[in-house]
Amino acid sequence: MVDPATHRQLYGRRAGHKLRTGQAALVEELLPQVAVPETGPLDAMVLFGDDRPLEFEIGFGAGEHLAGQAAMRPDHGFIGCEPFLNGVVGALNHIRDDGLDNVRLHMGNAIEVLDRLPDASLDRLYLLHPDPWPKPRHAKRRMVNDGPLDLIAA
């Protein structure tokens, strides 16, 4: 079985329908402001400029849950990872509309961000609907395998 923590390949679509003008503007203007830095170690100070509890969501879809949690706990920092462009646009809409300044987004593989966080740095991690691939040959796609779980547990 291939472990997604070492294989590091994303599966599925990266984009859906063509973005409308307003959506493309969000990606161009807001995403750079809230994007997780592409290199270097990460912690609350790097991401938010202060020391605060961090929460992490893997595969946030259109960002409804991520935005809801961030709105309930404005003193926490939220990191959301989603490879699907249209989902990122949905989260950007929530960030803009709800005035959320405690959310950072990564459009790509969550393991790339988890690797850069120090051990014991997350207060919560959300992985909603983690394994939609029931067949054994799809095991390489699952986040709920020993490699990713060991990384998350650390």
Catalytic residue ranges:
131
Q: What are phi and psi of 81, to 5 degrees?
A: -120, 130
Distance of CA 151 to CAs 3, 10, 145, 148, Å?
12, 17, 10, 5
Phi, psi of 136 (to 5 degrees): -55, -35
Neighbouring C-alpha atoms within 13 Å toward the C-beta of 99? 1
Reported as type and span, the H/E element at residue 70 is helix 64-72
Burial 141-153 (b: 16+ CB within 10 A, else e): bbbebeebeebbe
